[in-house]
Structure 1
Amino acid sequence: MPVIAAQKGNPGNPERKPEEDLVTISSPKSTASESYRGIRTSLLFSAADAAPRTILVTSAAPSEGKTITSANLAVAMAQAGNRVLLIDCDMRRPKLHRVFGVPRDRGVSNILVGNCSIEDAIIHTTIPGIDIVPSGPVPPNPSEMLGSQLMTKLLADVRDRYERIIIDSPPLTAVTDAVIMSRRVDGVVLVIRAGETHREIIKNGIGLLRAANAHTLGAVLNGVEMGRDSYYYYQYYYYYYGEDGERQKKIHRKKRARSRYYASDQSEGTGREEGSGGPENKGFNAPSSSEVVPARRVGF
């Protein structure tokens, strides 16, 4: 599984204030915002024929930052000119409505029981290009509802209205909801918190996606240490305009791939050895023991 982004800090921190979650809005020039734009670019160019339209964002375990990743990815997509719909399919612990400051009295659960239309559930946010369908009231049987034909119809109906549909779902290893939804989307993004998530949990999560024949687009690593002793480094440049309108260049540390947690391309059948090419050519090899994935060994 390729790693499409690595980020410092923990977007899944419950102590964060809602206004701090959408860094793509509050701090558009930050490295965190740049990382979300990098995820956007990776996903839009992930297929030779067409970019994925429906994208499921999940995690291996709770509190890894999947909801904040979903929200900021949606903003990044909208900033690129896409019309985006966010759907909160985490009907057990819904959070997207808090991030955007909208009610959830009507949403996915209402649509799936037939007492609310899609049009009535869609909320137009204050962010240009982004609409949201909250989870709705927490139902007693989320898995059965997500696996119903009404869910299939919901996705089919909104697919023709939006260019990108981002779906937030529960963690893979906690309940079956994400696995059920993984079969209904164009691709899955797996969020992993480095230094916290145990290897077996990651391995089990990836195994569930593979067993479901899900199209996995890549992994996003949160909580990565970016100090000088990180195991792999790379150098990238990006430009931005200062408040005076003058173009400036921001240079980040030069980095080289050195992590043993990146599987060689040879294992993917390409014949290249580990260390060839940049980080974008590497696959994330789920470790086999029960130890956590050290942040310093998957550093950005």
Structure 2
Amino acid sequence: MSASTNKHKLVAIANPSSRHAESYRTLRANIQFASRDRKLKVVLVTSSKPGEGKTTTAGNLAVLYAQLGKKTLLIDANLRKPDLHRYFNVANRFGLTNVLSEEAILEHAVTANVYPNLTLMTSGSPTAFPSEMLASERFAQLMATLRELYDIIIVDAPSSLGTADSQQIATMCDGSVLVVRRGASRRGEAHEAVAKLDHVHAGVIGVVLNR
């Protein structure tokens, strides 16, 4: 899929007055409403399985927070099948994995102003040990540092079923959003995904019904 095709999925940029962009604004508003009861500074976006629209949701949500003037960070934590660098048409030479493996410093692993007020941290170089990296103390330390630098952090995580990656990332986040695709997600799979997040006290904010 071409970079231009992926970029069109960012309707908050390409077509901000569309009903699709307005749906993402509603999601942003609902998360802000949930923040009244608990602080939601780091929000994880996941799905039960691939192809349900979690990356598109994460990207648009990050753009919309940036449009509020929030200093926003979008992290591609899908180390197995990253895609956000294509959405914003940036290189993925350095990113999250490079910081965690101490091959790069934080400043070299982020791309500032991919959109006004929005910084992107891509997944970085491929790794044979994604779960181990995401479960490391260095990842926990990195997330603690990033909390101090940004107003809001959106994390695009892998799908919840099949690997433990999302659960590991969720323990570093304040709340989780599960994306399910109409006509593609089975009820049992969605329930299982929620149960896995609940098991690590991930604080599931709600479910986004896509398509």
C-alpha contact (below 8 Å) 1:100/1:125 kept by paired residues = no
Equivalents in 2 of 1:141, 1:45: separation in Å?
Answer: 37
Alignment of 1:189-208 (within 5 A): 189-208=177-196
1:159 aligned onto 2:125: no
Alignment deviations for residues 59-102 of structure 1 (CA, whole Å, 9 cap, x no partner) = 01110000010000000111111110011100000000000111
Task: Give SS of 1:71's match.
Answer: helix
Could you say which structure has the larger radius of gyration?
Answer: 1
Whether the 8 Å contact between 2:112 and 2:119 is mirrored in structure 1 is yes
Aligned counterpart in structure 1 of residue 20 of structure 2, from 8, 32, 41: 32
Distance in 2 of aligned mates of 1:140 and 1:177: 13
Deviation sequence 1:221-242 (CA, Å, 0-9, x none): 112xxxxxxxxxxxxxxxxxxx
The answer (yes or no) to whether the contact 1:43–1:51 under 8 Å persists in 2 is no
- Tell me how many residue pairs correspond in the alignment: 210
Residue aligning to 2:168: 180
CA–CA separation in structure 1 for the residues paired with 2:65 and 2:58: 11
Given the alignment of the two structures, is residue 215 of structure 1 paired with residue 199 of structure 2, yes or no?
no
| Equivalent residues of 2:7, 2:86 under 8 A apart | no
**Alignment of structure 1 residues 147-296 onto 2, 5 Å:** 147-223=135-211
Q: Aligned to 1:154, what secondary structure does the other structure show? A: helix
Matched-pair contact (CA < 8 Å) for 2:114–2:120:
no
Instruction: Name the counterpart of 2:122.
Output: 134
- Structure richer in helix, relative to its length: 2
Superposed structure 1 runs of 4+ greater than 2 Å apart: 47-51
Choose 204-213 or 96-105, whichever is displaced more.
Answer: 204-213
Match of 1:41 among 10, 14, 29: 29
Q: Does the C-alpha gap of structure 1 residues 126 and 132 become closer, same or farther in structure 2, counting only changes over 3 Å?
A: closer
Contact 1:60 1:202 survives alignment (8 Å):
yes
RMSD over aligned CA atoms reads: 1.4
Higher RCO, 1 vs 2 (CA within 8 Å, ≥6 residues apart): 2
Is 1:17 equivalent to 2:16 in the alignment? no
Q: CA deviation at 1:19?
A: 2.8
Q: Is 1:44–1:51's contact at 8 Å kept on the other side of the alignment?
A: no
- Shift in Å, 1:174: 2.0
Greater displacement, 56-65 / 202-211: 202-211
What amino acid is aligned across from residue 104 of structure 1 in structure 2?
N
Partner of 2:79: 91
CA distance in 1, matches of 2:186, 2:8: 27
Aligned equivalents of 1:74, 1:111: Cα separation in 2: 22
The C-alpha deviation readout for 1:97-133, integer Å capped at 9, x for no partner, is 0001111110011011111111111101341000011
1:77 aligns with 2:74: no
**What does residue 53 of structure 2 align with?**
65
Structure 1 distance, partners of 2:45, 2:138, is: 21
Inter-partner Cα distance in structure 2 for 1:154 and 1:174: 25
TM-score normalised over the length of structure 1: 0.68
